[in-house]
């Protein structure tokens, strides 16, 4: 631009780097992603409003004993409960990997405590983080965002419509960062014959404690028989939880012969290997859908039919056509979530202030298409579009490099892989208690 204005002969001497721009930014959600995004935006000099539909911060980490009335969460008119935490949940990563880069999750003070803390501690950590960085003052609690739309397509302003008990309001922002989480809208397994099957079905979103599983007894059974579908973290944790009270717990997984083939009106569940059992409860631990019910982009950003992926998103953050004014934090799964969200937030903050440039729209789109093509060629299912593992380190280091920041601490990388190795060796049920990391002293946190 400068060269065009002052001419080729002079631009080298007359050009000055653009002043950092301050924008008014709406952040949707006060979970870990929204909190760290607010901090990074504020640090970069932006003016921030955080919208949070519930009455507290912490997002998924704010345990809610209540469950939805429809235990499969299929009724579109149900009252939605955000958190999917069950009472016994401990983190699947140790404190050091649940910290932010410059804000430790009590790693030094808790050397003798659980390496993999219980969920209450995570919520406490997030509250302390928000307090220490003055984030609470930026949050409008009990305020749900119901509509986000560009003021005009091709422009740079966004309309945010929100609703609280007292009022509805419409405001215009320069940018919107969406941090609404993606573990609230259940994905349910399709099971042939399920319509006539007389048992009870629940999604893990609506599982809290094992006790209710005692009450399903049929006359001949002391306790009930449960089939858990899915061997992700929730499926494996919940199996062990329920095993303390149920008569039998069977784990049905896609990767094995024990996948359900069909069910019938007698209450039997038949597996692919031909075996069958009488079952009282099927518990779907089958994951969640991406969902942005408030977002209107004329189809520029969309979620695929089954809620498996959102796109197109450059590096899981920027929709090429609407960047940098619209962005997403926390879309990836299976990574180092807190640190990953922090890096995404820093990147957004610096792109918005003009310090860091994004490639052209075409180049970003080409990158997304390339990413999707690679997944397809490798036979990776669509539902893993945003899964970072096993490329989590490359991803985080790539974002850091955009801002001229150093790569992730080598000790943390070593720690991450040692957990995977340990879980492989001692099994998922035991790794949290048996994992030992010799190089703790090397870590900076």
What residues line the site for ligand FAD (CB under 6 A)?
A: 28-34, 51-54, 59-61, 82, 84-85, 89, 91-93, 98, 144-145, 179-181, 183, 234, 294, 330, 337-338
CB of 141 to ligand FAD, least distance (A): 9
Spatial distance between the Cα atoms of 430 and 445, rounded to a whole number of angstroms: 25
In angstroms and rounded to an integer, the radius of gyration of the C-alpha atoms of the chain is 24
CB of 4 to ligand FAD, least distance (A): 41
**Spatial contact of 302 and 310, defined as CB atoms under 8 Å apart:** yes
* Cα distances (Å, whole numbers) of residue 88 to 9, 84, 280: 69, 12, 23
Spatial distance between the Cα atoms of 348 and 358, rounded to a whole number of angstroms: 10
Tell me which DSSP letter residue 318 carries.
Answer: B
Between 140 and 278, whose beta carbon lies closer to ligand FAD?
Answer: 140
CB of 313 to ligand FAD, least distance (A): 14
Between 29 and 320, whose beta carbon lies closer to ligand FAD?
Answer: 29
Between 40 and 52, whose beta carbon lies closer to ligand FAD?
Answer: 52
**Spatial contact of 47 and 383, defined as CB atoms under 8 Å apart:** no
CB of 82 to ligand FAD, least distance (A): 4
Task: Work out whether strand 276-278 and strand 268-271 pair parallel, antiparallel, or are unpaired.
Answer: antiparallel
CB of 99 to ligand FAD, least distance (A): 10
Distance of CA 185 to the CA centre of its chain: 12
59: left (phi over 0), alpha (psi -120 to 50) or beta: left
Between 213 and 290, whose beta carbon lies closer to ligand FAD?
Answer: 290
> In which residue are the tokens 């990767």 written?
255
Q: What is the DSSP string of 58-79?
A: -GGGS------SSTT---TTSP
Evaluated on CA atoms 345, 351, 352, 355, the torsion sign reads positive
CB of 52 to ligand FAD, least distance (A): 5
Residue 432 burial (CB count, 10 A): 20
Burial 28-52 (b: 16+ CB within 10 A, else e): bbbbbbbbbbbbbbbebebebbbbb
CB of 290 to ligand FAD, least distance (A): 11
CB of 29 to ligand FAD, least distance (A): 3
Between 263 and 348, whose beta carbon lies closer to ligand FAD?
Answer: 348
CB of 363 to ligand FAD, least distance (A): 27
Reading the block at residue 81, the tokens are: 């409960």
CB of 379 to ligand FAD, least distance (A): 26
Between 92 and 286, whose beta carbon lies closer to ligand FAD?
Answer: 92
What's the half-sphere exposure (Cβ side, CA atoms, 13 Å) at 194?
15
Between 294 and 314, whose beta carbon lies closer to ligand FAD?
Answer: 294
Burial 341-371 (b: 16+ CB within 10 A, else e): bbbbbbbbbbbbbeebebeeeeebbeebeeb
CB of 206 to ligand FAD, least distance (A): 12
Spatial distance between the Cα atoms of 15 and 373, rounded to a whole number of angstroms: 40
Nearest to 178 by CA among 29, 343, 336: 29
Largest alpha-carbon pair distance within the chain?
A: 92
Between 279 and 349, whose beta carbon lies closer to ligand FAD?
Answer: 349
Nearest-10 Cα torsion for 129, 138, 35, 187: 140
Between 86 and 271, whose beta carbon lies closer to ligand FAD?
Answer: 86
CB of 301 to ligand FAD, least distance (A): 15
Residue 282 pairs in a beta bridge with: 201, 227
State residue 387 phi and psi, 5-degree precision. -75, 130
């Amino acid at each position: 631009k400068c060269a065009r204005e002052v001419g080729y002969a002079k631009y080298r001497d007359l050009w000055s780097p653009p002043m950092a721009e301050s924008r008014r930014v709406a952040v949707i959600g006060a979970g870990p992603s929204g909190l760290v995004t607010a901090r990074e935006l504020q640090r970069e000099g932006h003016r921030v409003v955080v919208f949070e539909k519930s009455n507290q911060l912490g997002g998924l980490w704010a345990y809610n004993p209540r469950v939805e009335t429809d235990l499969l969460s299929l009724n579109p008119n149900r009252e939605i409960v955000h958190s999917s935490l069950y009472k016994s949940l401990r983190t699947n990563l140790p404190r050091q990997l649940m910290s932010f880069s410059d804000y430790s999750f009590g790693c030094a003070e808790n050397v003798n405590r659980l390496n993999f803390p219980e969920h209450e501690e995570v919520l406490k950590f997030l509250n302390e983080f928000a307090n220490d960085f003055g984030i609470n003052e930026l949050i409008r609690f009990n305020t749900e965002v119901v509509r986000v739309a560009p003021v005009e397509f091709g422009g740079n302003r966004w309309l945010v419509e929100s609703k609280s008990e007292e009022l509805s309001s419409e405001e215009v922002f320069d940018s919107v960062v969406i941090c609404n989480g993606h573990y609230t809208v259940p994905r349910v397994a399709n099971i042939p014959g399920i319509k006539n099957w007389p048992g009870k079905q629940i999604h893990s979103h609506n599982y809290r404690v094992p006790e209710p599983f005692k009450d399903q007894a049929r006359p001949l059974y002391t306790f009930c028989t449960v089939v858990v579908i899915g061997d992700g973290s929730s499926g494996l944790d919940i199996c062990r939880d329920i095993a303390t009270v149920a008569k039998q717990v069977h784990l049905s997984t896609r990767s094995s012969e024990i996948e359900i083939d069909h069910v019938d009106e007698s209450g039997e569940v038949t597996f692919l290997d031909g075996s069958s059992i009488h079952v009282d409860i099927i518990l779907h631990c089958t994951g969640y859908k991406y969902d942005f019910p408030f977002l209107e982009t004329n189809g520029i950003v969309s979620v695929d039919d089954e809620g498996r992926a959102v796109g197109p998103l450059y590096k899981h953050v920027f929709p090429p056509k609407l960047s940098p004014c619209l962005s997403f934090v926390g879309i990836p799964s299976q990574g180092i979530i807190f640190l990953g969200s922090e890096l995404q937030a820093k990147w957004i903050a610096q792109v918005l202030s003009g310090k860091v440039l994004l490639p052209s729209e075409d180049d970003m789109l080409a990158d997304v298409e390339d990413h999707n093509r690679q997944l397809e060629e490798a036979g990776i299912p669509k539902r893993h579009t945003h899964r970072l593992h096993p490329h989590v380190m490359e991803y985080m280091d790539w974002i850091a490099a955009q801002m001229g920041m150093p790569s992730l601490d080598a000790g943390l990388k070593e720690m991450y892989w040692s957990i995977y190795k340990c879980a492989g060796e001692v099994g998922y049920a035991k790794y949290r208690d048996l994992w030992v990391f010799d190089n703790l002293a090397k870590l900076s946190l």
